[in-house]
Amino acid sequence: MPKRYVNKAKKKLKGKSIPDNSITMADVFKEYAMPVLLEVEDDLNAVRFVALVALGCWNLALFPEDQIENHKQEFLNEIVKDVDDYLIAEKMVNYLISRKLFLFDDYKHLIIDVEIYPHEEGWQRVVTGLDLNS
């Protein structure tokens, strides 16, 4: 992971708390993905796409650090088909991976699926995961 993204993530996240263990993975994922989801909150398809990108980035961050970059490039090559600008996609992926590593590193859950659907109180999330520590 490039050092500039790590430092940028640390500055942005300084003073923010990591959710405690009594919170559901849906709550953890919401906290993790919220900065990028807020950018597209008015468009359900965009929210779903960004949530899937966040899911992929979360899972990428579970790899050993020396393997993340190769897997990240493969992931970017897949999602760029749906994103017009490679640099924007790369920036979002780097941000989300850094966010996972520095704020949510205690959560060793593989996220299998994220479903987002509209609800009267805003977007609802259903997150399916697997605890890799069990």
Evaluate whether 6 touches 98 at the Cβ level (below 8 Å).
Answer: yes
> Which residues form the domain of 40?
3-11+23-131
pLDDT in tens, 35-82: 998 888 788 888 888 999 999 999 999 999 899 999 999 999 888 875
Number of domains making up the chain: 1
Question: Residue 121: inside a domain, yes or no?
Answer: yes
Which of 16-30, 35-49, 88-102, 113-127 is predicted least confidently?
A: 16-30
Question: Residue 16: inside a domain, yes or no?
Answer: no
Measured CA distances, 21 to 25, 34, 56, 129 (Å): 9, 19, 22, 14
What's the confidence (pLDDT) of residue 125?
A: 67
What's the confidence (pLDDT) of residue 116?
A: 79
Torsion of CA 119, 50, 19, 13, to 10 degrees: -130
Question: Residue 74: inside a domain, yes or no?
Answer: yes
What's the confidence (pLDDT) of residue 96?
A: 96
Evaluate whether 98 touches 5 at the Cβ level (below 8 Å).
Answer: yes
The answer to whether the pTM exceeds 0.85 is no
Evaluate whether 102 touches 33 at the Cβ level (below 8 Å).
Answer: no
